[in-house]
Structure 1
Amino acid sequence: MPDECWYDRVTLPALLRHARTTYGAAMRRALAREGYDDIPGNGLYVIGGLALGDGGIPIGQLVRDLGITKQGAGQLVDTLVLRGYLARDPDPADRRQVIVTLTERGAAAAAVQAGVREEIDAALAGRIGEADVAAMRRGLGTLIEMERRKEEE
């Protein structure tokens, strides 16, 4: 039997938290070097998510995705708008809804984030192999689906 590794003794939730920190800390360092040092906590998620999407996102969806209150999402969006990362516009399909989109500054910050994410992903694949990365993604995706199914019940 192979020797136990340090991570075999750590709970999965703790591993997930610290693994997330690997990405977040590296992104924050790179963003600060490029002059984007004023992005609030959940701002990385919003900016990165908008960059991967095909347009804007309703604030209501941010509330659901981030698991924060409508007031919290509104404050986050307000901050990102004031700092030049997001624009807020009425939804053309439903004028009662507000859509947030990336500004030029937001897109530039998202590009920095994406570059860091790609570097870390490549380093990880180099250390454990593409098959293990795919298995990890499958496991994380399954965890997410488990919670989504509970929410739908």
Structure 2
Amino acid sequence: MIQHVPYWSYVVLPALLRRARTTYGDAMRKALAAVGCEDMPRNGLYVVGALSHGDLKLGDIIAQLGVSKQAGGQLVDALVLRGYVERAVDPEDRRRFVLTLTDRGRRAAAAQAIARDAIDEELIERLGEDKVMHAREVLGTLIDLRREGADAGQ
């Protein structure tokens, strides 16, 4: 009897992570196009999504992205020019900027959330909530490993 071995059992984890990420990315790009936001710059959804979740500092968002300050500034410039965010001087610290989502930015964030939630719901339907939470734990641990390595100077 021939046994079927699932591909995910032998493909290296980094390759699986890369391919899995495209499932979300493809769904989000399709959702953005449907609401007239097909010009979202690369990494722009990360910033827009982070801003939609509350009062996060731009510096923290850029640091989480893992890009240079210059690249982060260019990304913000593109988001401003394309009408996703507004930039203003921080009244508490004039050396800093405050970003707020425009109506277009909120529309993009909502489309992103709907697409993400649909994928998450499909995962739960196929695998169950426990397995999805376990996957989240594994990914969170990978993130912690990187953080701990950075803290240790590796």
Say whether the fold is shared (TM-score over 0.5).
yes
Q: Which runs of 5+ in 1 are unaligned?
A: none
Identity score, percent: 51
Mapping for residues 30-49 of structure 1, pairs under 5 Å: 30-49=31-50
Tell me how many residue pairs correspond in the alignment. Answer: 150
Q: C-alpha offsets along residues 58-85 of structure 1, whole Å, 9 cap, x if unaligned? A: 2x22331111111111111000001110
RMSD between aligned residues:
1.4
Q: Distance in 2 between matches of 1:126 and 1:95?
A: 49
1:23 aligns with 2:24: yes
Mapping for residues 4-153 of structure 1, pairs under 5 Å: 4-52=5-53, 54-58=54-58, 60-153=59-152
Q: Distance in 2 between matches of 1:110 and 1:131?
A: 27
> Cα offset for 1:3?
4.1
**Contact 2:35 2:107 (C-alpha < 8 Å) held by counterparts:** no
After the TM superposition, which segments of 4 or more aligned residues of structure 1 sit over 3 Å from their partners?
none
Scaled by the length of structure 1, the TM-score of the pair is 0.92
Q: Which runs of 5+ in 2 are unaligned?
A: none
Q: C-alpha offsets along residues 97-151 of structure 1, whole Å, 9 cap, x if unaligned? A: 1222211110111000000111100001001110000000111111111111222
Scaled by the length of structure 2, the TM-score of the pair is 0.91
